[in-house]
Structure 1
Amino acid sequence: MQLSGAFDDFKRRQSGRLENVEASIDGFQGILDDIAAKEAARVNAGGGAHNARPVDPEYTKLYASWFRYGQDEREVAQANRSGERARINAAMTVGSNSDGGYLAPTEWDRTVLQQLMAVSPMRQIAYVVPTTVNGYTTIWSDRSVGSGWVGETTARPATTTPQVNPVAYTHGEIYAYPFITQTLLDDAQFDVVQWLADTVAEELERQEGIAFLSGDGQNKPRGLLTFAPGGLHAASHPGGALAVVNSGHASQLTADGLINLSYGLKAPYRRNATWLMSSTTAAVIRKMKDGQGNYLWQPVTVAGQPETLLGYPVAIDENMPSVAADALPVAFGDFQRGYVINDRSGVRVLRDPYSNKPYVGFYTTKRVGGGVRDPNAIVLQKVGA
């Protein structure tokens, strides 16, 4: 009995110790969870990367100071008094460029890309991939794998093998060169770094939008429409040129032509297909009716949902051609599979206080490429009988 009682007492003491250990673990886990929650809330405050904590806070601070003041004779003269500005460039060697420019902080670069994504129709619907090397390469396969039916003891001869080809998308360099007075830089109470991001994004979007559709590939992307039969890059993709469906009229679009276009795209690609056209073309199509007098273009009935044409969403890009004889005013397809945009990570800024006094210029460059990824994924409507 004494042994049994001693054993029971030992079990109670061990159980108590175990409960204390578990309570301590729970307490530490609660502390860690609280820290993680507070950190996540702080990083995401304001909604997204626009207000996220800088990847390198010290570099970001120096970049903003360099943006306003640079490093000129005035700073050197003030160095003995302040001991700050003359050391800006020396401390920014991590982002230096041989021509005197600097790599923009990561969060600034991210802000520019987010603004481009928000306003660029092609960036919203195409496949966008960032790269850290000079270009982007993918592999194209014709998927021609042979097969056949055989009996239990029938010989199995070799079948055809799919052909595989690399497809490269090299970068072109795009630039913006906005100016602002040094006085405004010195005295402005607004965020001049954000001003540059906004200005650059607006100009880059304008230039990119043109190149993504009609770029000749010379120091710029290869435009979507240049892959049409007879186009500059019709023979550059191993998968061939984009398919073209005539509208059925020498100078106009027709309802039957649009229906033929939609079914000219193979079924696997139609699942995620989108129409692409300009506003002037959309105005023409918006008035079209079917044989029962119903508009082909369906109005939006749910807030935030895109308008649809024949059941598929419509993207408006003002760089698409207008309706005219032999023009290609409408594209239809799965642009995620059909067109790739490759961004070379990093925006570089060269501060120029000398070329146009009393203005300070900010020569800003970015490298971007683009081209058709899968020619089977997009079809074009050509105005013609």
Structure 2
Amino acid sequence: MPECSTTRIEEMTADIAKRAPEVKSALDGSDLVGAFHEFMHSFETFKEANNEKLRQLEKRGADPVTEEKVERISRSLDEQKQAIDGLALKKARPALGRGGAFSFAELERKQAFEAYMRSGDERSLRALEEKSMSYGSGPDGGYLVPEETEAAIGARLSDLSPIRSIASVRQVSSAVLKKPFAVSGPAVGWVAETAARPETAAGTLDELQFPTAELYAMPAATAMLLDDSVVDLDQWIASEVETAFAEQEGAAFVNGNGTNKPKGFLSYTQVADDSWSWGSVGYNLTGVSGELPATDASDVLVDLVYALKAGYRQNANWVMNRRTQATLRKLKDADGNYMWQPPATPGSRAMLMGFPLVEAEDMPDIGADTTPIAFGDFRRFYLVVDRTGVRVLRDPYSAKPYVLFYTTKRVGGGIQDFEAAKLLKFGTA
């Protein structure tokens, strides 16, 4: 690679700023491929600038101007990646209702729900729910949304909620999911073909419980919006609540205390991996308080990968926030290759050491004794429990002249396999 001066870095930074409108224009025009190519160009610029910073460090210490420009390019990368992800999600938004084929029962419920949403006429909905003997239905508790609307909310939550997108998700009809697991298996052994088979010891079972808690959002609508027959109210309610639900449950899946919300995986007891036992989450240490080691920083990531058993590594993901990702983006392995690699295709995930990287903004920042990095097979590690049914209660009185729609769903979550993920703790003990 040719020598890169501070002047050259200034030129590259100016080029990033110059191309930003092109990225925005591509996004506004739904040109996902074009925006992705701009993102890849920015990443190559970042690598060139960061390499120059590293060369300066080896010779005489990095120029503060150079460091600031590298950070600026890095931030631009983050912004472009988030914009591309947003466009990819928008393109993947499931179509609702209009123009689709419905059974008579589905169409009847859809029409009854729309009448309730627009005018508060609940007679048809009440008759349908009495006919199906729905538990807990009625005007005081709200009415269930049509099935396709609930499915659309669930599909979008999987896209928007980072932990849900990689965890196991199970639907239940009760308030609590009870999942048995074997504490110790039966005694086993080898025997000859004609030898006696002694009776084996019985396995010991225990039980994990995942209670569901109520999650709510309260979008507001004007009378004009409700009177507009062109507006698809199913799609409107789904789009209004999905982001609010995703933000709340995303935070709970990481840090929730388990009281009236899911229990986040960082809220469980954390122990050094050498002392790990079932019921706690193991961690590796960086050996430096609040920082990566000054030399061979990538080694701690390698050690974290191999702290996980081979069966869990096959489908493992990194989980961290964007600020931690920006720090790791500058690391190289022993051969001088960048350990962080951009997504291979639009809408896919960045890779770190060959494993997908999931951004979860609720993960802590790098700091003394924090655990900002998780690595593991989250489909086996964390379980999200959804109670079937999303309810809507129409409230035209509390915020006149607006009509509020009190929308609720029940969600739970917790660790189901404590061996399936490990944390990286930025500390010495």
TM-score range for the pair, normalised by the shorter chain length: 0.7 to 0.9
- Does residue 289 of structure 2 align to residue 241 of structure 1? no
- Say whether residues 1:69 and 2:108 are aligned partners: no
How far residue 156 of structure 1 moved from its aligned partner, in angstroms, is: 6.8
**Equivalence map 1:198-277=2 (5 Å):** 198-229=239-270, 239-253=278-292, 254-277=297-320
Tell me by how many angstroms 1:195 deviates.
1.1
The structure 2 residue matched to 1:186, chosen from 215, 218, 227, is 227
Which consecutive residues of structure 2, in runs of 5 or more, have no partner in the other structure? 1-91, 272-276
Provide the C-alpha distance between the structure 2 equivalents of 1:140 and 1:90, rounded to a whole number of angstroms: 41
Query: Is 2:394 the counterpart of 1:344?
Result: no
2:152 is the counterpart of 1:111: yes
User: Which structure would you say has the larger Rg?
Assistant: 1
SS in 2 for 1:114: helix
AA at the equivalent of 1:102: Y
* Paired AA for residue 158 in structure 2: M
Q: Which runs of 5+ in 1 are unaligned?
A: 1-45, 72-85, 231-237
Aligned to 2:142: 101
Residues 169, 386 of structure 2: 8 Å contact kept: yes
CA displacement, residues 189-220 of structure 1 (integer Å, 9 cap, x when unaligned):
32233111111111100100000111111111
What's the CA shift for 1:69?
0.5
1:67–1:193 CA contact under 8 A, matched in 2: no
Q: Say which SS state the counterpart of residue 346 (structure 1) adopts.
A: strand
Contact 1:244 1:379 in 2 (8 A): yes
Matched, 1:60 2:110: yes
- Check 1:48–1:291 CA distance in 2 against 1; reply closer, same or farther (3 A cut): closer
Assess, with a 3 A threshold, how the Cα gap between structure 1 residues 149 and 188 changes in structure 2: closer, same or farther: closer
Equivalents in 2 of 1:243, 1:119: separation in Å?
A: 28
User: Secondary structure of the residue that 1:204 maps to in structure 2?
Assistant: helix
Aligned sequence identity (%): 41
Read off the aligned partner of 1:335 and give its amino acid letter. Answer: F
1:244 aligned partner, one-letter code? Y
Partner Cα distance (2:348, 2:123) in 1: 52
Match of 1:123 among 164, 173, 176: 164
* Corresponding residue of 1:365: 408
**CA separation in 1, counterparts of 2:353 and 2:152?**
36
Contact 2:125–2:143 under 8 Å retained in 1: no
Note if 1:381 corresponds to 2:420.
Answer: no
Q: Which moved more, 1:322-331 or 1:221-230?
A: 221-230
Distance 1:359 1:241, change over 3 A: same
Cα 1:192–1:303 shift into 2, 3 Å: closer
Tell me by how many angstroms 1:354 deviates.
0.7
Q: Is the 8 A contact 1:269 1:334 kept in 2?
A: yes
> Which TM-score applies when normalising by structure 1?
0.76
**Pairwise CA distance, 1:148:** 4.5
Equivalent in the alignment of 2:55: none
Matched, 1:278 2:328: no
Contact 1:126–1:341 (8 Å) recurs in 2: yes
TM-aligned CA deviation for residue 298 of structure 1:
2.6
Q: Which amino acid aligns with 2:368?
A: A
TM-score, L = length of structure 2: 0.69
2:175 corresponds to: 134
Q: 2: CA distance between counterparts of 1:148 and 1:249?
A: 46
The residue that corresponds to 2:16 in the other structure is none
Distance apart, 1:50 and its partner CA: 3.5
State the Cα distance separating 1:351 from its structure 2 match.
0.3
2:418 and 2:299 mapped to 1: Cα distance?
A: 23
Specify the code of the residue in structure 1 equivalent to 2:176.
Answer: G
Inter-CA distance 60–256: structure 2 relative to 1 (3 Å threshold): same
SS, match of residue 236 in structure 2 = helix
CA contact (8 A) 1:140 1:239 kept: no
Q: Are 1:49 and 1:107, in contact at CA under 8 Å, matched by a contact in 2? A: no
Report the residue type matching 1:337 in the other structure. R
Q: 1:8 matched to which residue of 2?
A: none
Partner of 1:332: 375
Give the Cα separation in 2 of the matches to 1:116 and 1:226. Answer: 22
Alignment partners' CA distance in 2, 1:128 and 1:144: 26
C-alpha distance in 2, partners of 1:209/1:289?
31
Partner Cα separation in structure 2 for residue 98 and residue 186 of structure 1: 21
The partner residue of 1:322 within 351, 361, 365 is 365
Cα separation, 2, equivalents of 1:159 and 1:383: 45
- Does the residue aligned with 1:113 lie in a helix, a strand or coil? helix
Render the CA deviation track for 1:25-60: whole Å, top value 9, x for unaligned: xxxxxxxxxxxxxxxxxxxxx996744534621011
Deviations, residues 285-306 of structure 1 (Å, cap 9, x unaligned): 1111123322111334455543
**What's the RMSD between the two structures over aligned residues?**
2.5
Relative to structure 1, the CA distance from residue 372 to residue 349 in structure 2 (aligned partners, 3 Å threshold; closer, same or farther) is same
Partner SS, residue 67 of structure 1: helix
Q: How many residues align?
A: 319
**How far apart are the structure 2 equivalents of 1:338 and 1:351?**
38
Aligned pair in 2 of structure 1 residues 318, 54: CA closer, same or farther (>3 Å)? farther
Rounded Cα–Cα distance in structure 2 between residues aligned with 1:157 and 1:250: 54
Q: Deviations over 1:129-182 (max 9, x none)?
A: 111112212121134443445678988766554321111101000000111122
